Amino acid sequence: MKFANEKELQIVVYPNPAKSDFTLSINNADNKQADIVVFDPLGKLVAQRKVNLATGENSTHFDSDEWPRGIYHIRIIIDDADSFENTVILN
């Protein structure tokens, strides 16, 4: 998924679908701060992180072993811009 200026940021979620955990990889052109929030299929917040993104590839790992099966929505907020990525979590 490309985000904002497509030359500045690339976002990948893997594995997808996932069983008990997944990784969010953000390839970034500049140092930035990001808020990452994960919502369950009903829109309930299940995880929230503030991360500092360095230039290049950045990875954030999520342990979803306790989460029920479903499609989870990841919102990444950088410089007041939003991006959504869907992840299917299978237990």
The model's pLDDT over 15-32, given as tens digits with 9 standing for 90+, comes to: 998 988 999 999 988 888
Q: Which residue has the higher pLDDT, 91 or 75?
A: 75
Supply the Cα-derived Rg of the chain in whole angstroms.
13
pLDDT bin (cut points 50, 70, 90) of residue 43 is very high
Residue 8 CB neighbours (<10 A): 15
- pTM equals 0.82
* Sequence-distant (≥ 6) Cβ neighbours of residue 2 within 8 angstroms: 9, 10, 11
Tokens found for residue 12? 């990948």
> Do 22 and 32 touch, CB atoms closer than 8 A?
no
d(CA 54, CA 36): 15
Q: Which residue has the higher pLDDT, 82 or 10?
A: 10
Please tell me the least confidently modeled range out of 3-17, 24-38, 64-78: 3-17
Q: Which pLDDT does position 40 carry in this prediction?
A: 92
